[in-house]
Amino acid sequence: MFKKKKSKVQIALNNEVVRFERLGLRYGRGPEILSDVDMCLNKGSFNFLTGPSGAGKSSLLKLCYMDLKQSRGLISLFGNDISSISQKAKYSIKKRIGVILQDFRLIDHLTVFENVALPLRVSGEKRRNYTKDICELLQWVGLGDRMDALPKTLSGGEKQRAAIARAIISKPDLIIADEPTGNVDEVMSKRLLKLFIEMNRSGTTILIATHDKKLVKGINANILNIENGTLINTNFNSSF
C-alpha cells in the first residue's frame, strides 16, 4: 500500500463551502457586474440562485468554480482563500466541484458514456470500477439507450442530461448548475430535481441558478435573489 500524500488544501474548520465577502467583479474598465456581494454556502445546504436575465447569475457561478477572478473582495472555497493558494491546490479544489453549464461542453469525439466517464478516467479510476454506476445513472436520466451515441446526434435536452450525469458521477462535494432543467420537459425536470435532492441528502452542497419558479417551489431550500449585480435577499423557502 502506498501512502496517500497529504493535501496542501486546507480543511474548513466550520461548515463553510463557499464564502464571498464584499465581492466585486468587472470586465476591463467597465461597470461592476457584481457589487459588494456577501454570500455563504454551508456544507450540505441546498441553494437556488434566482434573478432576471443579465442580473449576474452566471458570473457569480463562474466565480464559485474559479472560471473567473474577482476584481475585489474575498472568495473562500472549502476554507481556502483562493487568491493565496497555488495552482496545484486550486486544481485539487476543482476536483471537488461538479459543474453543469448551459453550453454543455461535451467532447464531440467521445460517446455519451465516455463523456460521463471522463472525470473518473482523469482521476485514474479503472473502467471496470465505474461501468455499472455510469450505466445506472444514464438509465436514471433517460439516456440508457443513448450511451454509445456521439454528442452531435443528441438533442439539446439529451446533451443537458449527459452534462448533468458527467458532473455528478464522481460524487463531488459541491455541485454548481446553471439552468440545469432549461432544455427538458416538466416530467424530466422533476426527475432531475429528485437526483439533486438525493445527492444533497448524502451531503453534497447544491447551488442551482434557475428561472423555473416551479423548480424553486418544489423543495425546501435557501433562495438567493440577485438583481443588478447585487445579492438583495436571502431567505428560506418552506412551501414544500
| In the block, residue with C-alpha cell 466550520 | 14
**Per the domain annotation, does 194 fall within a domain?**
no
CA atoms within 13 A on the CB side of 14: 11
What is the C-alpha separation between 202 and 184, in angstroms, rounded?
25
Same domain, 33 and 138: no
**What domain count does the chain have?**
2
Backbone angles phi, psi at 44, to 5 degrees: 80, 5
**Per the domain annotation, does 193 fall within a domain?**
no
What is the C-alpha separation between 95 and 229, in angstroms, rounded?
28
Same domain, 133 and 230: no
| In the block, residue with C-alpha cell 467521445 | 110
Same domain, 126 and 240: no
**Per the domain annotation, does 229 fall within a domain?**
yes
Q: Is the pTM of this model over 0.75?
A: yes
Q: Could you read off the pLDDT of 34-68 as tens digits, one per residue?
A: 999 999 999 999 999 998 888 899 999 999 999 99
Q: Could you read off the pLDDT of 124-167 as tens digits, one per residue?
A: 999 999 999 999 999 999 999 999 999 999 999 999 999 999 99
- Overall average pLDDT of the 17-41 stretch: 93
CATH number reported for the structural domain that contains residue 17 in this entry:
3.40.50.300
Same domain, 177 and 86: yes
| In the block, residue with C-alpha cell 493558494 | 85
* CB-based contact 214:240 (threshold 8 Å): no
Same domain, 86 and 159: no
Same domain, 20 and 82: yes
Which residue has better confidence, 236 or 107? 107
Same domain, 18 and 91: yes
For residue 238, pLDDT over 50 is answered with no
**Per the domain annotation, does 6 fall within a domain?**
no
For residue 5, pLDDT over 90 is answered with no
Q: Residue 58: which of 179, 162, 232 has the closest Cα?
A: 179
What is the C-alpha separation between 231 and 225, in angstroms, rounded?
6
Backbone angles phi, psi at 18, to 5 degrees: -130, 135
**Per the domain annotation, does 189 fall within a domain?**
no
Same domain, 53 and 112: no
User: Could you list the residue range(s) of the whole structural domain that residue 29 is in?
Assistant: 13-96+172-181+199-240
What is the C-alpha separation between 225 and 182, in angstroms, rounded?
19
Same domain, 64 and 132: no
Which residue has better confidence, 11 or 202? 202
Same domain, 221 and 239: yes
Same domain, 137 and 149: yes
